[in-house]
Structure 1
Amino acid sequence: MQIQALAAQQQGATLQPYEFAVEPPQAHDCVIKVLACGICHSDLHMIDNDWETSNYPLVPGHEVIGEVVEIGSQVNHIKTGDRVGVGWQRSSCLQCRDCLRGNENLCDENQGLIVTGPGGFADYLMVDSRFAFPIPAGIETKLAGPLLCAGITVYAALRSAGMTSGQEIGVIGVGGLGHLAVQFASRLGNSVTVFTTSDDKAEFAHQLGARHTVVVPGGTPPAPTQKLNILLSTVPASVDWAAYLEHLDSDGTLVLVGVPSEPLNVPIGAMLNKRRRIMASPIGGRAMMLEMLSVAEKYGIQPLVEVFPFEQANEAMQKVRDNKVRYRAVLAK
């Protein structure tokens, strides 16, 4: 099968038409006709080889939504004609302790979709069907892709940190990750406090469901008036972690999904005195992905997207690179 795609031929290059061949699907594989694909900053990191894991030509795209057109002999949980999505993860060993616990995302042998093969900037994608997820009918195709990356990232982090309902949840940042975190936390019955750097994002956070907003223009929040059970940081920058720790209640958890470039510098006393925790969280396993999609459909949780035709992929990528997209970019056919 010949697949038409867009690829970066070398580090930092713009996308160019690229054609490659794939073998017929093996036992657990499926072939997906791509209908839409989100654009994530991780696509840019891979194109630029920031993580030194890139192979070229590189076909980006790990928020893929499409229609199943062919399946392998052992595939029985999806069928041709189904609408499915594929996120960051392509595969795992499915046998280790983490996989057997439902934490395939923590498997030592887990493979990223665009790290070990072509992604969704193409007319078709072949992938292990066990990492292709049925998309609920109530979620639009153009909105589904970002849920498979940004959505699962914040949802899994909040759940892993202990989020249930009736809690006080804090979110640092109202961007591509944060605007979904506010929705998940608030619509599952929690009181959400948002920390942001601008008045307009504070107002937007209220519209999303935040009960309280704190504008922090200089990076250091004011003294807390309400203690939080969980504080989720979605920003890729260092902030005044000591000041933010004071916003946590006893046994509270600071969980990071944004990745600062500098090591964390935190006072152990602020953690010791109140038995606070710090953790980080990457995406989520297969069961968590299905749960997240179900919750998103049931409670109407939607990413705010800008849609571009595939022919404008380079223009869309540049807008993402320039941080001019509010809040997720999606290529659609």
Structure 2
Amino acid sequence: MAISRQETLSTTAWVVERPGPVASSPLRRVERPIAPPGAGEILVEVAACGVCRTDLHLAEGDLVPRTPRCTPGHEIVGRVLRTGSGVTHFAPGDRVGAAWLASTCGTCRYCLAGRENLCPHSRYTGWDLHGGYAGHTLVDARFAYPLPEGPADEELAPLLCAGIIGYRALERADLPPSGRLGLYGFGASAHLTAQLALARGATVHVLTRAEEAARLALELGAASARGAYDRPPEPLDAAILFAPVGDLVPVALAALDRGGTLAVAGIHLTDVPALNYDRHLFQERTLRSVTANTREDGRAYLAEATRQHPVVHVRRYAMSRADVALADLAADRITGVAVLMAP
């Protein structure tokens, strides 16, 4: 599709019209203009976009939209339509991915120390900037990922957030070689993280309230799958909390062996109840949060996933049914990951 530098496209997009419960229909489908790419930007025609629980938090108001009538979606796979001035490493037709981290300042002490995920000026796809629940989107070329031509669009899309944030959470959990890992919640990110940990030689125990998710965990190689509040069959060296449920923090801490670490992977978490020092933190147990990701996390995970070929359990939805996909996610009717597909 050729467009002039001055031409403004019209694209069909979902926007968060009025944040609220999914039942109140917070998403609205609209036509909106999208300008040609500016300096350092690429214009991407969206082929697929994963549906993340963060999108649900945005739609329901747990995350306050930073852009009026924001278009959600930050697991974007597509093709470059046009490049803005100064872009040299992408060309029209290239297959690219866009993820949660959309831009950083590049000059603060966090960016200079390789911790750009903590940049106070960071911006995020589908929160600060319009995301991938649309036909087209603009992406800062410095934060886009080149993607291989082999895998299907719907298999690549979840890697760009569910996979990357799982990778960072696993790094933050300090799992020792051949260690025992507990995963609390088993949705899009956890089912990819489990495969990553298993490929590294870990023993994985899954704690989830969903029976279908428990079955999937066992199919993928988990050593056990029990209820979310149950005790795992052995002490854990590390655990990752994916479920946005603060009540599970003391449960997971109590399941850790001495010196174990719990990483909380969600961007939103309900209130954490009071912790008992002796039972939950003594003997050098560690509680950590996980904040976004760096581009290096993204590159490292995508390279590892290319070697390992994780099984991505996808439920496909037409882009026109994004509201249905979010409702199904809210009701825990999705095992694996939902992906919106372009026409």
Relative to the length of structure 1, the TM-score reads 0.90
Q: 1:189: which partner in 2?
A: 201
Residues 208-287 of structure 1: pairs in structure 2 closer than 5 A: 208-210=220-222, 212-216=223-227, 219=229, 221-222=230-231, 225-239=233-247, 241-258=249-266, 259-270=268-279, 273-287=282-296
- What does the per-residue CA deviation read over 1:18-57, in whole Å, with 9 as the maximum and x for residues that have no partner? 22231x3233111111111112222232233332234332
Q: Distance in 2 between matches of 1:239 and 1:8?
A: 29
Q: 1:158: which partner in 2?
A: 170
Distance verdict in 2 for CA 1:311–1:276, change over 3 Å = same
- What does the per-residue CA deviation read over 1:125-175, in whole Å, with 9 as the maximum and x for residues that have no partner? 112111111123443211111111111111101112224642221111222
Say what the alpha-carbon RMSD is for the aligned residues: 2.2
Distance verdict in 2 for CA 1:141–1:27, change over 3 Å = same
- What does the per-residue CA deviation read over 1:289-331, in whole Å, with 9 as the maximum and x for residues that have no partner? 0111111121111331111122222322322232212221111
Q: Give the gaps of 5 or more residues in structure 2.
A: 1-7, 21-25
Q: What letter is aligned with 2:297?
A: M
Q: Does 1:324 align with 2:337?
A: no
Kept in 2: contact 1:186–1:192 (CA 8 A) = yes
Q: What letter is aligned with 1:56?
A: P
Distance verdict in 2 for CA 1:34–1:200, change over 3 Å = closer
Residue range with higher mean Cα deviation, 267-276 or 77-86? 267-276
Q: What letter is aligned with 1:5?
A: T
Kept in 1: contact 2:123–2:129 (CA 8 A) = no
The Cα shift of 1:71 comes to 1.6
Q: Distance in 1 between matches of 2:40 and 2:114?
A: 19
Tell me the SS of whatever aligns to 1:177: helix
Distance verdict in 2 for CA 1:41–1:14, change over 3 Å = same
Q: Distance in 2 between matches of 1:159 and 1:55?
A: 31
Q: 1:44: which partner in 2?
A: 56
Q: 1:291: which partner in 2?
A: 300
Kept in 2: contact 1:83–1:134 (CA 8 A) = yes
Residue range with higher mean Cα deviation, 70-79 or 28-37? 70-79
Q: What letter is aligned with 1:115?
A: W
Q: 1:5: which partner in 2?
A: 12
Kept in 2: contact 1:37–1:61 (CA 8 A) = yes
Q: Distance in 1 between matches of 2:150 and 2:113?
A: 29
The Cα shift of 1:228 comes to 2.1
Q: What letter is aligned with 1:20?
A: P
Distance verdict in 2 for CA 1:264–1:94, change over 3 Å = farther
Distance verdict in 2 for CA 1:203–1:117, change over 3 Å = closer
Q: Distance in 2 between matches of 1:311 and 1:51?
A: 23
The Cα shift of 1:91 comes to 0.7
The Cα shift of 1:242 comes to 4.0
Q: 1:301: which partner in 2?
A: 310
Q: Does 1:14 align with 2:23?
A: no
Q: Distance in 1 between matches of 2:285 and 2:325?
A: 41
Residues 100-119 of structure 1: pairs in structure 2 closer than 5 A: 100-119=112-131
Number of corresponding residues: 328
Q: Distance in 2 between matches of 1:238 and 1:156?
A: 20
Relative to the length of structure 2, the TM-score reads 0.87
Q: Distance in 2 between matches of 1:99 and 1:183?
A: 30
Q: Identity over aligned residues, as a percent?
A: 30
Distance verdict in 2 for CA 1:171–1:121, change over 3 Å = same
Distance verdict in 2 for CA 1:269–1:144, change over 3 Å = same
Q: Does 1:58 align with 2:70?
A: yes
Kept in 1: contact 2:247–2:271 (CA 8 A) = no
Q: Distance in 2 between matches of 1:119 and 1:193?
A: 34
